[in-house]
Amino acid sequence: MIPRKPLGFLIFAALAVAAAAFVWFGLPHDREVKSLGIFLLKLLPFVFAAEALARLDVEWAKRIRLVLWLVPIMFLVYFLYFVPKIFYFGGVVNGSREAYYGLYYHVLTVTPLIIISLVLAYRLGGGTPAVVRRLAYGMLLLMLSGLEDLAFLTVNDHTDPQWATIPAVWDWASHMTVFIGHPPTKYEAYAFIAVHVLLALAVFFSPQRWWDGLRARSMARFGKPAGVGSESV
């Protein structure tokens, strides 16, 4: 039995997901708007999502720690689907190597800004310092994990033989090379990704008392009282 308070949120969230799926998979990906009806239809996922958020019961969301699930999932939808598609269509299909490098640099520079923007919105909405740190550092670990590199190879329809299968050596993954000391093999890259994902999950879902202890030590170091009780999500 679904509690009454979150029912409105869940209904509109489901409508938003269904509408988004219909728009993405059921309608042509046209650059031009063909009619007012199609234009309004494509706005429905946003409207349903906004109404869902307006109906979200904050206390219920805190009890089930919704922020630690939903914000990282939404970030991963952007980072593991849309970013690889941007790189593929903007660089591999239509761009020169120089254009690809410029696109790559700009997208991966704006990604930490997106993380901070999500965390800022949470904090301004009354979010706790502990969860701010969980979200920020957990999503940063996901960004640095190499998941996007793997997604680039798997979500796109590559015709170039170099990318049609997962390469044995990931010589482009310099963020892995600087840690490992050499360009990682495919299986070293998988291990690198797995370690970062596990660390991110530990950040998101480790016991609250660990973060309370960190906060208490930090406040004691600066001469402030640690306070009583723990912060809720």
Domains of the chain, by residue range, sit at: 1-56, 65-221
Q: Where are the alpha helices (DSSP H) in the chain?
A: 7-26, 36-54, 58-63, 66-77, 83-87, 97-124, 129-144, 147-155, 161-164, 174-180, 186-205, 208-221
pLDDT of residue 209: 77
Give 216 or 12, the one with higher predicted confidence: 12
Q: Please say if the pLDDT value at position 68 is more than 70.
A: yes
Q: Is 66 left (phi over 0), alpha (psi -120 to 50) or beta?
A: alpha
Band (230; pLDDT cuts 50, 70, 90)? low
Cα–Cα distance between 232 and 58 in angstroms, integer? 11
Counting Cα atoms < 13 Å in the Cβ hemisphere of 184 gives 22
Instruction: Please report, for residues 15, 32, 63, the alpha-carbon distance to residue 19 in angstroms, rounded to integers and kept in the order given.
Output: 6, 20, 28
Cα–Cα distance between 61 and 64 in angstroms, integer? 5
Band (228; pLDDT cuts 50, 70, 90)? very low
pTM metric for this prediction:
0.82
- How much is the average pLDDT of 113-128? 92
What's the whole-number average pLDDT of the chain?
Answer: 87
Cα–Cα distance between 188 and 221 in angstroms, integer? 40
Cβ neighbours of residue 118 closer than 8 Å, sequence gap 6 or more: 71, 74, 75, 135, 139
